[in-house]
Structure 1
Amino acid sequence: MSHILSEVEIKNYKSCNGTTLKLCSYTPFVGYNNAGKSNCLSAIQWLLRKSSLSDGDFYDSSKPVEVSAVIEGVTQEIIDQMPDRQQRSIAPYINSETIKIKRTQSLPNAKVAEIKLSVWDETQQDWVLNPTGIDNAVSILLPEPIRIGAMENAAEDASKAKTSTTIGKLLSQFIEPVKVAHEQELNQHLLQVKSRISSDGNMRFDELDSIDSRVNEKVANLFPGMSVKLHFETPSFEDLIKGGTIKVYEDAQCGRDFSSYGHGAQRSIQMALVQYLAEIKRSSNEQLTNTLLLIDEPELYLHPFAIEQVREALLQLSKNGYQVLISTHSAQMVTAEHAKNALLIRKSPGIGTYARERLSDAIQSVVPNSIHQMEQLFSLSHSTQVLFAENVVLTEGKTELRLLPYIFKKVSDKTMGQDKHALVAQSGVNDTKKSLQILEAMDLPAKAIADLDYGLNGAISHGFIDRDDGDIVGIKNIFVRLSQEGRVTINGNNLPRNGIVKASEAFEILANEQDAQPLIDSLHNKMKLQNIWLWKKGAIEAHIGTGSKDEKSWAAFKNSVDEVSLQQVCPDFDGIRELVEWLRAD
C-alpha cells in the first residue's frame, strides 16, 4: 500500500457533527444499528466524489458541511508519475509525504460548482481554497470510491447500466484485459456497423437509402434545396463497457436479471465480483492510484465460510491498490490481527456519531510498545466479544469463564450478550490494572473479578490498596495466628504459601474465621470502588459449591441447578446474586 487516508474529520454531515476517524488499509467500523457507520462511509465518499447535499444531509442546515482528510504516504516517486500539470498543482502542499484536503458545502442544495476543495498550506498554516487543478490531482491519488451499499438498494443498483453503479464500477476495474486484447478487433466490427447505419456510411442499407429518398421528396416540397438522412450513432468500445451489467444463469435456464433473485444471491454475486477483483489485483504493482472500497455489511446473507472468504478477499485488496473500509456486525469480519485498528462507532444525544479510541492507540497511551497486552486482550476469541459489547468483564479463572454466563442468565433471566457484556479471560491477575486502563482509554466500561488473594498482593502492587491499610494489616495478623495454630503456612510477608495446605485453601480457611469476615467485607467494598470484585470466600468455587476446577465439576453444577435451583445449590446464593447485580449496575 503506497498511500492511504489516515485520518478523516467530519463536521455537520447527517449524524456526524464532529466525528474523527483514524483509518488504516483495512478498517472495520463496528457499532449498533443507527450509530452512524454508514454515514461515516458516505461522508468519505462525498469527500472524493462531490455532489450537492440536501437538507437531510446537514446536521444543522445553518452551518456548512466539512469533511477533511489526511492522505499519508504520498512519496516523491508517486508525484513523479503524475502528469506535469497535476504535479505542479499538488507538489507545493505535500509535507513529509502528507497532504491534507477539505471538501466544503456551505448551504443545502448548493450548485456543484459551489462545492469547494481546499488544501492545507503548511507554510501559511491555513487552508488554500480550490487551487488550480487540485481536484484532478487528488483524483489521481484517490479516484472515485467504489461503494457497495445496503442490500435494499442492490437490485436497483445492479439493474442500471452506468459506471456510477456498484456493478458498473466493479466491471470497469477488471475489464481492462478485455479492452487490451480485443478493442482493435471490436472496433473493426463497429466500423462495419457504422458504414451501414450512419448518415455518411459507404455501405448503407438499401432500406435506409429508400427511406431517405421518400422523406426527402416531402422535405423538398417544403424546403427546396434541403435534404435529410437517417443517422444511427454507433457505440464506441467505451460505450459498450459502460452498458455492462450482469445476467444470472441457473441450471439450463435462460439468463435472468440480477434483480429477479433474492438478497442472498445478489449479495453473493456482489461479493464474488469483489473476490475476483482481489485475484486479478494480487499481482498488480500499480502504486499511483489507491481506490477506496466502501462496503456496508459485506457479511449480509452469507454463510460463515463465505464470510471468511470475503474477508480474506478484502484483506488481499487492501494490500493491492485499495483501501478497504467496511461497516460490520460480524465478528468474522474482524480478525485478531486487525481488531486493534477497528473503529467502535457510537452515537449519543448532543454529540452525534463518534468513534471510540482504537485499541492500538489505547495500548500505546497506557503501555507503550506492549505486544503482550495486545495479544492478551484481543486474541481471536476476545475480539469477537469486546468489539461488539458495551461492558467488559475481566476474569482470570476458568470456572468463571465456563459458569459465569450460565449463572448470569439464571439470576438475571438474560444472557451476558443480551445485556451487552463481554466476558474476557486474562492470562493472569497481574494484567488487571493495565487491562482496565486500556479499556478506560477506549471508553469501554469494564469491571474485573479476582480471587481474594489479589486483594493482598496485586491490588497493593497496582496501587489500588495501601500496603499499610488497616484491613490488610488485620488479615495478615489473622494469618499469623492461623500459622501458629498449625493450620496454614505463611511466607516472610505473613501471607499464605503452599505447605500445610495449599495457599488457595488458606484463603478459604481465612474466610471462615469470624474475626476475618468484617475485614474481608471492608476490603471487598474498597475494591468494588475500583471496579474489581473480590471473592470473599477465596474463589468462586467456595461460593457456588464446586469442589474442583474441571469439566466434570462444572457439568455436575449445571445439572444440579437445572434439577432444583441456583438458590438451593449455591452455598452463597446471596453473594452470587450480588455479583450479577453489581455487574449490571452502571
Structure 2
Amino acid sequence: MALNITNITIKNYKSCINTSLQLSGFTPLVGYNNAGKSNCLSALQWLLRKSSLSEKDFNEPANPIEVEAEIKGVSQALLDSMPEKQKKSVEKYVENDVLSIKRVQLVPAAKAAEIKLSVKDPATGQWVVNPTGIDNAINALLPEPIRIGAMENAAEDASKSKNTTTIGKLLAQFLEPVRQAHEQDLNTHLSEVSRRISSDGDLRFGELSNIDTTVNAKVAELFPGMTVKLHFETPTIDDLIKAGTLKVFEGQGDGRDFASYGHGAQRSIQMALVQYLAEIKRNVPELTTLLLIDEPELYLHPFAIEQVREALSSLSNSGYQVLITTHSAQMVTPELAETTLLMRKNDQQGTYTRLRLSDAIQQVVPNSVHQMEQLFSLSHSTQVLFAENVVLTEGKTELRLLPFLYKQACSKTMGQEKHALVAQSGVNDTKKSLEILAAMDLPAKAICDLDYGLTGAIRDGFVGATSPEVVAIKSRLAQIAPANNIALNGVGLPKKSDHCTAARAFEILANDAVAKPQILTLHNALKAQGIWLWTLGSIEAHIGIQSKDESAWALFKSNVNQNGLAASCPDHQSILDLVEWLRN
C-alpha cells in the first residue's frame, strides 16, 4: 500500500472554517474562483512544513488554526527503513498502518517553537503534543512538498534553481544522478581553483599576493602586526546547482532570460519539467513526495494539458501524491471523476466539498457496477482548433468508448496523439464535414455504420451505385430477406418492420458468408477515401454489446479492465485495425 495522506480537516485557515477533504493518490480540486481550493493546498503544505502564519491567514484571529490528517500506508517495513531515533518517535502511534497528526498555531505571528505538531495515541484516542523528534520523523516519512503555484512569481521561480523555489525542488528530484556521476571529478577541479584563489592556497596567483603585499603595507601603518589576505570562497557542487538558471533558446540566437517570455512559455517549461520528472520516476519506488499544483493547465493549449495530466497521473503511481486545483475539464478523466473534489464556499460554512461521485453512487446504488461519466466536456470547436487530426463519428457508442478503446490498443490517449473526436449531427453530414475540415487544412477521417456504405456513400459520390460490390451486396440482401423477415424499401434496402429493425437487418447481412467478401471490398474502397465502415454493421457488433446505453458501456469497460481487450471483445482485431488506421 502506498504512503498517502488521506482524510484532512482544516480549521480556521483563511476560508477553511471547518473543511474536510478525502484525498487519493491523484486528487483534482474543482470549483469556481475564490472557492478556497488553493487555501486547501497551502494548509496541507503548512501541516508538513511549519511556518509562522500571520493574522491574514486566520479566518477568526481569536481562534487557533488546526490542520489534522491521517497518513495511511505507514507499514512496519517503512518504519524499519527509518533511522532508529525517528522510528522510535512515531512507531508507537501507528495502528493498522495509520498515523494521525495535527498541527496547531494558537495565535497569529507565533514563534516557531510555539507551533505544535501532535500525534494521536491509538491506545487512548488522545492527542500527544509535540513528542520528542516528531517533526524530524514526519520529515523522514514525507519529504519536502513541492508546491507549484499560479503564475504570480513564475519568472523568478522558474529561472532559478534554489532550494526554496519550485524549480529548485523539481531540479533536486532529478539532478541527484548528475551529482553522483560527477561530484568527485568536479570536486577535483574545484580544489584546483581553491588552491589558486583561497587565502591559504599553495598555488595562489601571484597577482593576488602582490595585492596582499601592497594592502598590508597600508594596514601596518594603522594596525602594526596585523595583515590581510584576499580570499575567494570556492563553491561546492551544491552552490553551483543553486546558482543555475534556465535560459530559453529559439533558433540559432543567444539564450534569453526566462522573464522575457510570456506566461504561456513560462508555464510550459514548468510543466515540461514535471513531465520529465514523471518519465524518470516511473515505477521507481520511494517515499511519497507531496506535489501540490495550482491550475497546471494555465496558459497551455488543450493537448498540452492532456500531456501534463498524463504525466501527473504517472507520478501519482511513482512515489508522489498529487493534488491539483483546476478549472479544466481536460484535467479530469472519467476515472479521476470518482475521486475529484467539488469545492464550494458560502458565508456560513466557508470552503467545503460536495460528496464525491464515487461516494454518491455507493449511497444511491450500493455495489453497482458503474463506469464514471465525464464531469465536463469541451466544445467540439475548441478541440478541432488545436487538433492535428479529426475523427468524425455519428454514434453515441463511439463517443463513449472509442477514447477508451484507443488507449487500450496503443497505450496512448487520443488527445496525446492530437486526435479530436467530434460528433456529427448526422451521418448525412459526413461529406460536408470532411470538406470543411479539408478547407481548414485539417486532416480528418470518419467512422460510419454499414448502412452508410449503401446509402450516404453513394449519394455523396464516394462509391458508385453500380459498382460491382454494391450491386452484389444488394442482390444478396434481396435473396436472404424473406427467410429473415427483412422488409425492403423501394431501392432494395432494409426498412423497419414489426419483425426486424433496419439495424438488425444490416447485422444479418454483415454475417452472411456470401456478402462478407463484398462488404470487405466496400470497406476498403471507402477506407482509401478516409471513411471507416463497420463491416459487422455497427461498433456494437464488433465489441459484443447488445444495447447503446450507459449500463452496457459501463459493463463493457469493466470487463476490458478486468480481462483485457482480446478476451472481452469478439472482434478485437477490428478495433486494433481501426486504431492503427487512425494513427497513420
TM-score (norm 1): 0.64
Summarize deviations over 1:121-174 as a string: whole Å, max 9, x none.
111211111111111111111112111111122113224442111111111110
- State the 1:383 CA deviation: 4.9
- SS of the equivalent of 2:264 reads helix
Q: How far, CA to CA, are the matches of 2:266 and 2:331 in structure 1?
A: 19
- State the 1:330 CA deviation: 0.7
1:327 corresponds to 2:321? no
The letter for the 2-side match of 1:151 is: M
1:355 maps to 353
1:100 maps to 100
1:485 maps to none
1:475 maps to none
How is 1:237-276 mapped onto 2 (pairs within 5 angstroms)? Answer: 237-276=237-276
Q: How many residues align?
A: 385
Q: How far, CA to CA, are the matches of 1:229 and 1:124 in structure 2?
A: 64
Given that 2:158 and 2:270 are in contact with CA atoms closer than 8 Å, whether structure 1 keeps it comes out as no
How is 1:297-312 mapped onto 2 (pairs within 5 angstroms)? Answer: 297-312=295-310
- SS of the equivalent of 1:18 reads strand
After superposing the two structures, state which structure 1 stretch, 264-273 or 359-368, moved more: 359-368
- SS of the equivalent of 2:291 reads strand
Given that 1:101 and 1:118 are in contact with CA atoms closer than 8 Å, whether structure 2 keeps it comes out as yes
- SS of the equivalent of 2:213 reads helix
Given that 2:13 and 2:57 are in contact with CA atoms closer than 8 Å, whether structure 1 keeps it comes out as yes
Given that 2:161 and 2:171 are in contact with CA atoms closer than 8 Å, whether structure 1 keeps it comes out as no
- State the 1:7 CA deviation: 1.1
Given that 2:70 and 2:98 are in contact with CA atoms closer than 8 Å, whether structure 1 keeps it comes out as yes
- SS of the equivalent of 2:190 reads helix
- SS of the equivalent of 1:17 reads strand
The letter for the 2-side match of 1:379 is: E
The letter for the 2-side match of 1:238 is: D
Percent identical among aligned pairs is 65
1:292 corresponds to 2:286? no
Q: How far, CA to CA, are the matches of 1:348 and 1:244 in structure 2?
A: 45
Summarize deviations over 1:452-488 as a string: whole Å, max 9, x none.
xxxxxxxxxxxxxxxxxxxxxxxxxxxxxxxxxxxxx
Given that 1:66 and 1:105 are in contact with CA atoms closer than 8 Å, whether structure 2 keeps it comes out as yes
1:563 maps to none
- SS of the equivalent of 2:128 reads strand
Q: How far, CA to CA, are the matches of 1:214 and 1:131 in structure 2?
A: 59
The letter for the 2-side match of 1:295 is: I
- SS of the equivalent of 2:304 reads helix
Q: How far, CA to CA, are the matches of 1:310 and 1:108 in structure 2?
A: 37
How is 1:52-91 mapped onto 2 (pairs within 5 angstroms)? Answer: 52-91=52-91
- State the 1:261 CA deviation: 0.4
Q: How far, CA to CA, are the matches of 1:53 and 1:21 in structure 2?
A: 21
Q: 1:18 to 1:324 in 2, by over 3 A?
A: same
1:124 maps to 124
How is 1:77-226 mapped onto 2 (pairs within 5 angstroms)? Answer: 77-226=77-226
How is 1:167-566 mapped onto 2 (pairs within 5 angstroms)? Answer: 167-286=167-286, 289-371=287-369, 374-375=370-371, 378-380=372-374, 383-384=376-377
- State the 1:321 CA deviation: 0.6
1:23 corresponds to 2:23? yes
Summarize deviations over 1:287-325 as a string: whole Å, max 9, x none.
xx2111101111111111111110000000000010000
Summarize deviations over 1:191-249 as a string: whole Å, max 9, x none.
01111111111111111111111121122222222211111111111111222221111
The letter for the 2-side match of 1:222 is: L
Structure 2 residues without counterparts, runs of 5 or longer: 379-394, 397-496, 499-584
- SS of the equivalent of 2:157 reads helix
- SS of the equivalent of 2:117 reads strand
Q: Which runs of 4+ in 1 moved over 3 A?
A: 382-385
Given that 1:171 and 1:244 are in contact with CA atoms closer than 8 Å, whether structure 2 keeps it comes out as no
Given that 1:118 and 1:129 are in contact with CA atoms closer than 8 Å, whether structure 2 keeps it comes out as yes
Q: How far, CA to CA, are the matches of 1:59 and 1:5 in structure 2?
A: 24
Structure 1 residues without counterparts, runs of 5 or longer: 386-397, 400-497, 500-586
Given that 1:336 and 1:383 are in contact with CA atoms closer than 8 Å, whether structure 2 keeps it comes out as no
- State the 1:348 CA deviation: 0.6
Q: How far, CA to CA, are the matches of 2:262 and 2:45 in structure 1?
A: 27
Q: How far, CA to CA, are the matches of 1:300 and 1:346 in structure 2?
A: 21
Query: What's the Cα RMSD here?
Result: 2.1
Given that 1:187 and 1:237 are in contact with CA atoms closer than 8 Å, whether structure 2 keeps it comes out as yes
